[in-house]
Amino acid sequence: MRTVQSWLDEYGASHRNPVNKTIHWICVPAIFFSIVGLLYNIRLPYDVGGLHLTVAHIALALVLLYYVRLSPSLSAGMLIFCVLCLWIWRILENFGVTPWILSVIIFVLAWIGQFIGHNIEGAKPSFFKDLQFLLIGPAWLLSFLYKKAGIPI
């Protein structure tokens, strides 16, 4: 099994250009958030303690298991981000926002940004090599925050 550092290093190899990095700081969280919104829109016929369960809840639980396997430390930060995404979608929904419409708009715009960034970088997106890099992207960004805060990865 590969280490989290080897995943982060390989991901970072195609993300060296400062413009591409800046685009990723905006677009990677936006894509993650938009996917949560799309999945949040799919309701399941179950309530858990007054919480209406959605496919997003199940998918994020599985994603968090993946992160725990990679790095318990990074998984804690991703847990916070996942909860924040769900909380924001719940608030937006309470204000009458239809999650799937906003999610699709964010998703498309963010991927356009990603491809512009990779065009500037001159490198293909990492997920073309391995789909797991779609989950490594958020962890890669979080690893920078951890390093600044002195939190071990």
Of 65, 91, 89, 92, residue with least CA distance to 78: 65
User: Is residue 116 within 8 Å of 23, Cβ to Cβ?
Assistant: yes
Give the pLDDT score at 51: 79
Answer yes or no: is pLDDT of 106 > 90: yes
Give kind and range of the element (H or E) at residue 150.
Answer: none
Q: Name the DSSP class of 87.
A: H
Name the DSSP class of 123: S
Q: What distance, in Å, lies between the first and last C-alpha atoms of the chain?
A: 17
> Residue 127: is its pLDDT beyond 90?
no
Amino acid 5: pLDDT: 96
Return all residues near 10 (Cβ < 8 A) that are at least 6 apart.
Answer: 126, 133
pTM of the model: 0.94
Residue 49: the pLDDT is 81
Instruction: Specify the pLDDT at position 48.
Output: 81
pLDDT band at 102 (very low <50, low <70, confident <90, very high): very high
Could you tell me the two tokens for 23? Answer: 């685009």
Identify the DSSP state of 126: G
How many angstroms separate the CA atoms of 4 and 47, rounded?
35
Position 126 scores a pLDDT of 87
148: left (phi over 0), alpha (psi -120 to 50) or beta: alpha
